[in-house]
Amino acid sequence: MDLFQGIRKSLLVVESDSEKRNLLLTYFQKGVECDAVESIDEAIDAAALHEYSAILAPLLPPELTGLELIPKLELLSPNTVPIFTSEVESAGNTVKAYRAGAFDVVQMPMSLQKLETAVQRAFIQYEMRSLRDRYRNQIESEVALRTFELEQNLDEIERSYRMTLNAVVKSLEKRELETEGHGERMITFSLRLAYELGLERAALRDLELGTLLHDVGKINIPDDILRKPVRLSMTEWNMMKQHPVFGHDILAGIPFLEGAARIVAEHHESWDGSGYPHGLRGEEIAIGARILAVIDAFDAMISDRVYRRARSYQAALTEIERFAGSQFDPMVVEAFRNIPASDWEFLHDRSLMGRLENQSYQSIVSELVFARRGMELVH
């Protein structure tokens, strides 16, 4: 039985190019009710007359005038789900779109399959909104019957956000010339340390996203500073030290990134108050940021750089211990010390293999942790 039986699915395509518009119209009309218009203004007029399940529209950089559609939809057709396409690969534009209320942004290179996947996810979101309205006034037991299915769909929506955020961060890493596997290592290393400290599920989720996005503020740092091969001037260094603030500002207002935004803002603070940008100290700093500070230093030390070879695990541990109580939280350093070197080696090697499509970072780390606990019980 179809849970969403009776909820009609319809799509409005916005495309100024007649050839593309006809292609999209022909493609989507095979499965759903589909209309097409040339401009954002026409789309607003159409939404005033008809409630579409989703609207597929261009971002229209550089001013991103396509986003003008969102506040109009909130007034005219609040259940309609806005999806945007971007022919300009820009991490900043993608983040702005999410902050404005976009459900999804399909980046270049685009394909009909990618668009269809985004539209199908939008239909799920529309169906959820419609169900919410349909059953708002019904008794709690009837709503409870659908709770599990809705939670599964919410998880799928969050996974789609994560996929897009991963793509944004990968483009930033290419700009910053990061070492291979850096992004995955930072996340799995942080989660491994968090497991050692006993962080709960919500905190693990915030840490994963905060680690993924910890340098997103560098979008606002000019290339001539970010890629400068010699020591930065004082003015340049002061600009670089603002990237946690820029990152927090980018993420502020995105509800599911609230915890991550704090980690992004505080990951360069120091236990003794000597860090930046706000000079926070001790437990004023979020635990996720205190974990990330240790892991950021650790990964930097064990990775090859153009100006030096990677250090050994033992040399990195000695250096981290030397700064316990000043740069790093002593409790976090103690937990780091308790993790076997073989765990770090496994996660390092794993980062060079590439993550399996259906395997989450948390599953990689939890399987490692529980496998080790099993071996400890055997011995």
| Cα–Cα distances in angstroms (integers) from residue 215 to residues 103, 158, 197, 245, 248, in the given order | 23, 21, 24, 10, 10
The CA-based angle 104-156-108, given to 5 degrees, is 35
Q: Does the bond joining 109 to the residue before it have cis omega, within 30 degrees of 0? A: yes
Q: Judge whether 72 counts as a catalytic residue.
A: no
Residue pair 250/216 in contact by the 8 Å Cβ criterion: yes
Rounded Cα distance between 137 and 352, Å, is 52
Rounded Cα distance between 168 and 89, Å, is 9
Rounded Cα distance between 42 and 66, Å, is 12
State the CB neighbour count (10 A cutoff) for residue 238.
12
Q: Which of 9, 30, 218, 228 is catalytic?
A: 218
CB burial of residue 71 (10 Å; 0-12, 13-18, 19+): exposed
Residue pair 287/199 in contact by the 8 Å Cβ criterion: yes
Q: Given the DSSP bridges, would you call strands 10-14 and 81-86 parallel, antiparallel or unpaired?
A: unpaired
Long-range CB contacts for residues 363-366, cutoff 8 Å, separation at least 24: 364/188, 365/188, 365/191, 365/192, 365/195, 366/195
Q: Quick check: helix, strand or coil at residue 131?
A: helix
Point out the residues that are catalytic. Answer: 218
